[in-house]
Amino acid sequence: MKKKILIVDDEPNIVMSLEYAFKKKDFEVFIARDGTEALEIAEKQFPDVVLLDIMMPQMDGYATLQKIKENKDMQDTKVVFLSAKNKPADVQKGLDLGADMYMTKPFSIKKIVTEISNLM
């Protein structure tokens, strides 16, 4: 069965590249533009991994992560932050909230794909 990945970011150009790279690696890719939309999709699809931006309109990445973690059916879902916020405090906060990985923008697509494949 194909692994499911949910990419959450409000920058369509970034999303497009990620989508292409993960499809190439045989992931089933879902896309959301903000936290609210991400939760809607996640509750239906139960993705294996969520790639989550932090600064988004409506609901931010931290809140979205908490909602995902609250859901019993998504206990095994891996969450990876993908953010331009690169201060140690931001990274720590993300990991403390229960993220499995924190990657900073700008990132290398190749590296992301490798790291996430390793997480699986």
Tally Cβ neighbours within 10 Å of residue 110: 9
Question: Per the structure block, which two tokens stand in for 57?
Answer: 């309109």
Q: Which burial class, exposed, middle or buried, applies to 118 when counting CB atoms under 10 A from its CB (0-12, 13-18, 19+)?
A: exposed
Report the interface residues with other proteins, using CB under 8 A: 10-11, 13-14, 16-18, 20-21, 24, 54-58, 60-62, 84-85, 105-110
The position carrying tokens 């924190």 is 102
User: First-to-last CA distance in the chain?
Assistant: 13
Torsions phi, psi for 119 (to 5 deg): -65, -30
Query: Least distance in Å: CB of 108 to other proteins?
Result: 7
Q: Which is nearer to other proteins, 84 or 119 (CB)?
A: 84
Q: Which is nearer to other proteins, 46 or 104 (CB)?
A: 104
Query: Least distance in Å: CB of 76 to other proteins?
Result: 26
Q: Which is nearer to other proteins, 47 or 61 (CB)?
A: 61
Diameter of the chain by CA atoms? 38
Q: Which is nearer to other proteins, 2 or 24 (CB)?
A: 24
Query: Least distance in Å: CB of 119 to other proteins?
Result: 19
Query: Least distance in Å: CB of 97 to other proteins?
Result: 12
